[in-house]
Amino acid sequence: MMRSLRAIVVAVAVIGALAACTPGSGYSDLDRPATSADVPPDDIPAHAFDNLDADSIRYVGSHEGHTFYLAQAEPLPGVCLAIDLDTESWVVGCGTGLTVGGIGVTATVIRDGDAVPEGGTLVGNNVVVLPSSGS
């Protein structure tokens, strides 16, 4: 009986140590707990949620009138970036190495620790608004 108890304790300790070594998602904007600010506005079309885990949606921030949300892609690997272009238009893209563009804005998603592309503006921790090609 004592030997079984020791085996269980050792197994739990090993599992705990392995869990402590497991890195986060690599996207700290997604790793924080959800808040009321993370609920996207009602005007985002329902089909925008087709390839993402709706429970993982996080508000990242705003820049020059555009609002940015990040979510875990599902069922494919990667993340999804949703950009509120104006009061009636959204653009959503999902994948890895992701860049999404729409009317007047182009943004890319970077992992924690990646360099911000030259001329880019960091919004949150993982979204970079890229300079327009006309500047």
Q: Which two tokens stand for residue 21?
A: 């070594």
User: Distance (Å, rounded) from C-alpha 119 to C-alpha 115?
Assistant: 11
Amino acid letter at 132?
S
pLDDT in tens, 62-113: 999 999 999 999 988 899 999 998 867 889 999 988 999 988 899 999 999 9
Of 13-17, 92-96, 114-118, the least confident: 13-17
| Domain-wise residue ranges, the chain | 26-129
CA distances from 52 to 31, 60, 65 (A): 15, 16, 24
Count CA atoms within 13 Å of residue 105 on its CB side: 25
- Say what the pTM is: 0.78
